Amino acid sequence: MKAFALAACALLTMASGPAIAETATVNGISLHYTVAGTGEPLLLLHGFGSCAADWGSIAEKLSATYKVISIDARGHGQSTNPGGVFSHGQAAEDVRALLDILGIKQARAIGFSTGGITLLHLATAFPDRLSRMVVVSGTNYFPDEARAIMQSAAMESLPPDVLARYRQCASRGEEQVRSLVGQFRSLGFREDDTNIQAADLAKIKARTLIVHGDRDMFFPVSIPVNMYRSISGSALWIVPNGDHSPTAGADETTFVNEVAGFMAN
């Protein structure tokens, strides 16, 4: 507990320099990312429709201890996606390719929603590339609840705050927003995108912290519980009254403290 407190305190008090924007060509796309801080590499992967910039103060606090690499997933933010199709398996391959370009053999990582699903793909397909990971509001398959929401997605029906976030992150304007909404809807009909079995989860070598709200509208709490049972040595944090963004707002400091302790062992 003493080590936990010291690590958390360090993250909240130390200052880091400004993030540096970079671009890499991977798998036929231009992948945009930012780098801030020094130390062991820590990847930050955002949710669908979001972008690296949305990590905000969380990235800033973590960069006091780690070399934080915040990535715009293909088609998001300033990253391109000429094919106009998104899959979490491909997103994981993009991250692996970026690690190769940067000469990083192994990294820590935090992923939210789509970012967390991407980490599960990466950790099962390339078990040696991640040492520790935090999967926030992720899933190893899409249940009926999630598919219903995804299949009904449209510009006209998205909640105003969600559409505003899409627009804030879309560097190429309304056309990019419409494309992403369409890709999100298409994911709801695909059977081949995310279907990670318990036997595959058992192959994960990264020390894993699973964070989930008990009122997540996409992925019921039974999913993170089963993932916890399948991933050897994992830890589970169920956030009471937490929705699909269980660590947002007032809970951000608690989240950073918990992650600091977990990452610092």
- CATH number of the domain within which 53 lies: 3.40.50.1820
- What are 113's two structure tokens? 């929603």
pLDDT of residue 1: 32
pLDDT of residue 252: 83
Residue 55 near residue 122 (C-beta atoms within 8 A): no
| Residue 107 placed within a domain | yes
| Residue 178 placed within a domain | no
**What is the mean pLDDT of the segment spanning 118-132?**
97
| Residue 72 placed within a domain | yes
Helix axes 174-187, 160-169, angle to 10 degrees: 120
Residue 193 has pLDDT above 70, yes or no: yes
**What is the mean pLDDT of the segment spanning 216-221?**
96
Domain count, the chain: 1
Owning domain of residue 110: 2-143+196-263
- For the chain, give the percent of residues with pLDDT over 90: 81
Residue 5 has pLDDT above 70, yes or no: no
Residue 17 has pLDDT above 80, yes or no: no
Instruction: Give 25-47 pLDDT, tens digit per residue.
Output: 999 999 999 999 999 999 999 99
Neighbours of 150 (CB within 10 A): 18
| Residue 69 placed within a domain | yes
Residue 204 has pLDDT above 70, yes or no: yes
pLDDT of residue 249: 63
Residue 40 near residue 109 (C-beta atoms within 8 A): no
| Residue 242 placed within a domain | yes
Rounded (5°) CA angle 239-140-210: 30
The band of 250, judged by pLDDT with boundaries at 50, 70 and 90, is low
| Residue 157 placed within a domain | no
| Residue 154 placed within a domain | no
pLDDT, greater one: 71 or 17: 71
Residue 110's DSSP bridge partners are 44, 134
| Residue 156 placed within a domain | no
pLDDT of residue 216: 94
Nearest CA-CA partner of 90 in 113, 54, 114, 106: 114
